[in-house]
Structure 1
Amino acid sequence: MKRNYWRGKEKHGWSNRKHGYHPHRYRRPSHNNCTERLEQGEPQTPVNEGSSSSGDPSSSSLTQNSVVPELPGFYYDSEKNRYFRLLPGHNNYNPLTKESIQYKAMECKRLRLLEEEEKQKKKTTRAGLNSSMLLQKRQLGLLSSTSYCRLVHELKVNCMQRRKIEIHSPDSSVAGTNNFKIIVADVACERIFTVNDVEHGGCKYGIINLSGLGKETLTVEMYDNLYFTNRKVNSVCWASLTHPDSHVLLCLMGIAETPGCASLLPASLFSSTNPGDRPGMLCSFKISTAWSCAWCLNPQADNCFSTGLTRRVLVTNVVTGHRQTFGTGSDVLAQQFATQTPMLYNGCRSGEIFSIDVRQRNRKGQSWKAIRLFHDSAVTSIRLLEAEHYLMAGDMAGKIKLWDLRTAKCVKQYKGHHNEYAILPLHVNEEEGLLTAVGQDCYTRIWSLQDAQLLRTIPSPHPSSKDAIPSVVFSSRLGGSRGVPGLLMAVKQDLYHFSYN
């Protein structure tokens, strides 16, 4: 019966096996049949309507690029073009999960990008963006000086190469033993304050001198004294109490019966070996858990710092000890003082951004909020631009927005940033016209401030993980006034320099 059936089909013009037709090969399986075969351990190639056996490359690429349906309990391997079953493991451990599959794909992408950078195959993001073409257009008057400088900066970003920095320390057992968590540069970019996670809990912190970056050999000196705390360091900023960047402000999380605190430490504490040679004020203020902190450089609120707490802001005068409390209704995750006015800008977990005039005394209700902006997700970082007419803000939805404070409107969005739940900083360098941010996926991205174009995505030298998110500093003078321009990246136990020459 089956032979007669197919002979009948051939008489009516159906292709036979001789012409490449196979009745079972092109029959579209139902979902039940597909699942049935998979449960028996058999890999299944997804069948697409309209596919052809002619061997046409366009049709085969169409098959690979088409949307593959997701089947519960199975995953699709694009390389083998088959479904495979997610097998349960022992003791509630599954060796093959969607997360592990996604991690494998991300790791392959990271290794591929690193290989491209090693082979110097990295291409510019814009067609025709090369030094000779830019110079020719500038000489012909086709580019203004402003546009020429901006495009040159974009070209330099794409030509940055990674080099590892050697960290020298008086105690060789200290350097390179703990993972970097935070690095923060002072205003002159002569030093960076570092916070390192300790293997068995707690943090170590100290200062690294960057003066060695101006030489051909990339070496930096770690100051003698490193300090250990068994509490988590939530936030760090430099403080100018007796002179510019004379101190470091630390916010430590409380544990058990030990309350949280904000500690003001003189920078000389980390470089002096003799306790008698440690000038400067050393003080600590007991507070509940602080998510953020900021130091005020405006003389109208001299010697003051702020801490962003749970549903309130605390402004403290270091000399007098006087405190002002502002209720916010939400956790304050990001803060920055303005320099031209005594205004404090705050970013909240609720997505609200607001400013406070720290001179005012009446703090009833919400009337003291001068400027109010809103994101759809928790705001994790805010940065005022130099003229203080614009504010950059990043949130936990991965959105980065530039706000005009005069009109309270968003004027630009910088796309491509990745964040879901982490408190990640933004780095604005107006001198070069660049915005830098590290995503939760461990990629460092650089945008043009002027047109919000993503200029470069830099993969991490180490596999991505929650404890390996790079911390970066970008400056035109790393190491001081005669230093070198570039990007400083701290990840795991290593420090890297990306030259911006």
Structure 2
Amino acid sequence: MGRHKNKHFRGRGKHNASEGSFNEVFKGRNQGLSTKYNDQGASTSSATAASTSSTSTYDDSESDLPGFYYDQEKKAYFKILPNTMSAVSSFVTKESIKEKKYEKQRLSDVKRFLQGRSTLLQSALFMPTEKASQCTGLTKVLRKFQCGQVTCESFRSYMNRHQCTTLQPDVEIISSGSQQNSPKVDSIQKMLATDTHDHLLCVWSLKSSIAQCIQLLSVSANLRSLKRNAGRTETTETSKVIRSLVTTQPIFKKISSLCWAKFPNNAARHTVLYTGTCPIGYSPTIVYAYNFDIVTNSTVSIYELNLGFSTVWSCAWHNFEAKFSIGAERKCHLIDVATRRTWTYHTHNSDPLSQAFSSENPHKIYNGTRAGFIVVHDIRCPGKTRSQQEMRQKHGISCLKLLKDENYIMANDFSGGIMNWDQRMTRIVRKYEGLVNSHYQMPFHLDEQESVVCGAGSDSYTKLWDIRTETLLQNIPPPCPASQDSFPIAMYAQNWGNSPGNSGLIMGITNRFKVYTTSS
């Protein structure tokens, strides 16, 4: 009897000891401490300090209790509720945890970027065997150029790299209309630039409304001013860098696609072709063409076409003839402006999300489809199910651009990668990876010399690559918290305002523009 009693008490004492150790661990965790680190020495504590100072803001080891989230700042556990409760700020959901993590990471990246420590060009520009500190100085590069050790093309490439890697925020410009009764914009949706990069065309969503508006802006020939303090905030109504010229009245249709157009007898004016779909109700899709008159500060409608009850994904203008193409549901339509005659081209039963006409061959049209096909058609042979040429990527094509040498074509897909295709070999010759995307139509842009490719991902980070070497030149964090409703649109050019040497990056984000110029 005594032995059983002692055995019983020994087992209970053992159970109490284990229970006490669990309580100590739980208590220690609530106080921001862990007993598993107590037996380690100074080396472990230094490693822990180093790990906490890294870029990662959330450690999975802190969430060792299923269904609970450990807050390092409040030193306490919180129960994770379904994402349907995210509208209530007092509840902790997986979305709020992720947003908090991303915001902390963004602030850290912005701080590093402003301090100039985010330069990604670490290797030598011309001699890979040298160290970066031996070759990145402009004086040494000029000396090598004078001695004939560096060619003109290499020196031009160096200057492009130098300008991209030294970008810093210069001025912030809030979008405002050119008139007092202009609508108040909420966030940018689309942005286009002219070939000379002296004008911008932006599509904005309006505050407290489902409507949108189109705005034409001029870009100054002096993007960077030494007399202007960096970080200054201006408006497009008074700014000398980006100035508002014409703003349309609210458009109560969703602008699904947009492109520049050169209508007959209107080549000297800024003409825009866009498609509008009614987001609410049962209304047909209509193609509009507007002339932006800078003198009278007004817009004139010069063309309308009813496409019926169909969804439109993309549009493109034919520069050789008065025709334009429409990427509709699972097919492509070519429409003559004067006669309104329509030709249909098959796209493998997939939606053409991006389109482009050849500038050398007037009979070629390129379609990037949701299924990942790049389909090339001869517009002289409509109705054929078989295309002239096909290239395929693993994911859907969201943006398509032809280079000046049309043997090469660039396309990005929903995976975030930008591919450079050689049409002669029908294979990918270069890849530019790093953008984050899942299913959004994220555009990318090229500069005038086609030496730098620029794009923004769904995480709102903007990246710049060297086209020839595939080198990542710059990674710009978003200047404001990321939002799934509006992603930034960035353009890098070397001749802004049609002025050679006026290089910089213009980013449209929320209701403003951020201008980045070289720091030296």
With the shorter chain as reference, the TM-score category is 0.7 to 0.9
Name the amino acid aligned to 1:355. Answer: V
Partner of 1:204: 213
Partner of 1:373: 391
The answer as to whether partners of 2:106 and 2:477 remain within 8 angstroms in 1 is yes
CA deviation after TM superposition for structure 1 residue 225, in Å: 4.3
Against the structure 1 CA distance between its residues 81 and 495, is the aligned structure 2 distance closer, same or farther, given a 3 Å change threshold?
Answer: closer
Partner of 2:316: 294
CA deviation after TM superposition for structure 1 residue 132, in Å: 2.9
Name the amino acid aligned to 1:207. Answer: L
Against the structure 1 CA distance between its residues 483 and 141, is the aligned structure 2 distance closer, same or farther, given a 3 Å change threshold?
Answer: closer
Greater shift in the superposed pair: 223-232 or 375-384: 223-232
Name the amino acid aligned to 1:135. Answer: L
CA distance in 1, matches of 2:401, 2:494: 18
The answer as to whether partners of 1:46 and 1:83 remain within 8 angstroms in 2 is no
Pairing 1:30-179 to 2, within 5 Å after superposition: 42=30, 52-56=40-44, 60=48, 68=61, 71=64, 72-75=66-69, 84-88=77-81, 92-93=85-86, 95-126=91-122, 127-128=132-133, 129-162=136-169, 163-165=171-173, 169-172=177-180, 174=182, 177-179=185-187
CA deviation after TM superposition for structure 1 residue 292, in Å: 0.8
Name the amino acid aligned to 2:67. Answer: G
CA deviation after TM superposition for structure 1 residue 373, in Å: 1.2
CA distance in 2, matches of 1:159, 1:476: 14
CA distance in 1, matches of 2:184, 2:298: 25
CA distance in 2, matches of 1:244, 1:388: 26
Q: Report how many residues are paired.
A: 463
Pairing 1:259-338 to 2, within 5 Å after superposition: 259-268=284-293, 272=296, 281-287=302-308, 288-297=310-319, 299=320, 302-328=321-347, 329-338=349-358
CA distance in 1, matches of 2:447, 2:377: 25
1:250-273 CA-to-partner distances (Å, cap 9, x unmatched) read: 1212342211122122233x6535
Greater shift in the superposed pair: 174-183 or 329-338: 174-183
Name the amino acid aligned to 2:275. Answer: C
Question: SS in structure 2 opposite 1:105?
Answer: helix
The answer as to whether partners of 1:186 and 1:245 remain within 8 angstroms in 2 is no
Greater shift in the superposed pair: 110-119 or 193-202: 110-119
Q: What RMSD over aligned residues (CA atoms) do the two structures have, in Å?
A: 3.7
CA distance in 1, matches of 2:407, 2:268: 24
The answer as to whether partners of 2:255 and 2:277 remain within 8 angstroms in 1 is yes
Partner of 1:222: 244
Gaps of at least 5 residues in structure 2 are 1-16, 123-131, 229-239
Greater shift in the superposed pair: 312-321 or 53-62: 53-62
The answer as to whether partners of 2:30 and 2:75 remain within 8 angstroms in 1 is no
Name the amino acid aligned to 1:334. Answer: S
1:154-209 CA-to-partner distances (Å, cap 9, x unmatched) read: 11112222222366744245376432221211222222111110122121112112
1:383-422 CA-to-partner distances (Å, cap 9, x unmatched) read: 1111101111111111211111110111111111111111
Question: SS in structure 2 opposite 1:229?
Answer: coil
Greater shift in the superposed pair: 426-435 or 169-178: 169-178
1:323-375 CA-to-partner distances (Å, cap 9, x unmatched) read: 111232011111111111121111111111111111114x233x2x1221111
1:194 equivalent in alignment to 2:186: no
Name the amino acid aligned to 1:191. Answer: H
CA distance in 2, matches of 1:90, 1:491: 26
Question: SS in structure 1 opposite 2:482?
Answer: coil
1:267-305 CA-to-partner distances (Å, cap 9, x unmatched) read: 33x653578xx5x833334242111111112x3xx1111
1:57-77 CA-to-partner distances (Å, cap 9, x unmatched) read: 565468869974864313456
Greater shift in the superposed pair: 403-412 or 168-177: 168-177
Question: SS in structure 2 opposite 1:450?
Answer: coil
Query: Identity rate of aligned residues, in percent?
Result: 23
The answer as to whether partners of 1:74 and 1:83 remain within 8 angstroms in 2 is no
TM-score, structure 2 as length reference: 0.78
Partner of 1:474: 492
CA distance in 1, matches of 2:199, 2:461: 24
Counterpart pick for 1:252 among 273, 276, 282:
276
Counterpart pick for 1:343 among 351, 364, 368:
364
CA distance in 2, matches of 1:97, 1:353: 41
The answer as to whether partners of 1:166 and 1:219 remain within 8 angstroms in 2 is no
Against the structure 1 CA distance between its residues 209 and 67, is the aligned structure 2 distance closer, same or farther, given a 3 Å change threshold?
Answer: closer
Greater shift in the superposed pair: 86-95 or 388-397: 86-95
CA distance in 1, matches of 2:416, 2:83: 37
The answer as to whether partners of 2:403 and 2:409 remain within 8 angstroms in 1 is yes
Against the structure 1 CA distance between its residues 213 and 318, is the aligned structure 2 distance closer, same or farther, given a 3 Å change threshold?
Answer: farther
1:85-132 CA-to-partner distances (Å, cap 9, x unmatched) read: 434499845722232222222212222232334444443522333323
Question: SS in structure 1 opposite 2:498?
Answer: coil
Against the structure 1 CA distance between its residues 373 and 432, is the aligned structure 2 distance closer, same or farther, given a 3 Å change threshold?
Answer: closer
CA deviation after TM superposition for structure 1 residue 481, in Å: 4.2
CA distance in 2, matches of 1:315, 1:286: 12
TM-score, structure 1 as length reference: 0.81
Name the amino acid aligned to 1:390. Answer: Y
The answer as to whether partners of 1:393 and 1:400 remain within 8 angstroms in 2 is yes
Name the amino acid aligned to 2:210. Answer: G
CA distance in 2, matches of 1:86, 1:354: 51
Gaps of at least 5 residues in structure 1 are 1-26
The answer as to whether partners of 1:224 and 1:271 remain within 8 angstroms in 2 is no
CA distance in 2, matches of 1:36, 1:262: 70
Partner of 2:5: none
Question: SS in structure 2 opposite 1:223?
Answer: strand
1:398 equivalent in alignment to 2:416: yes
Against the structure 1 CA distance between its residues 63 and 282, is the aligned structure 2 distance closer, same or farther, given a 3 Å change threshold?
Answer: closer
Against the structure 1 CA distance between its residues 35 and 296, is the aligned structure 2 distance closer, same or farther, given a 3 Å change threshold?
Answer: farther
Against the structure 1 CA distance between its residues 138 and 225, is the aligned structure 2 distance closer, same or farther, given a 3 Å change threshold?
Answer: closer
CA distance in 2, matches of 1:172, 1:231: 23
Partner of 1:462: 480
The answer as to whether partners of 1:124 and 1:155 remain within 8 angstroms in 2 is no
Against the structure 1 CA distance between its residues 220 and 52, is the aligned structure 2 distance closer, same or farther, given a 3 Å change threshold?
Answer: closer
CA deviation after TM superposition for structure 1 residue 51, in Å: 7.3
1:233 equivalent in alignment to 2:233: no
CA distance in 2, matches of 1:448, 1:407: 22
Name the amino acid aligned to 2:172. Answer: K
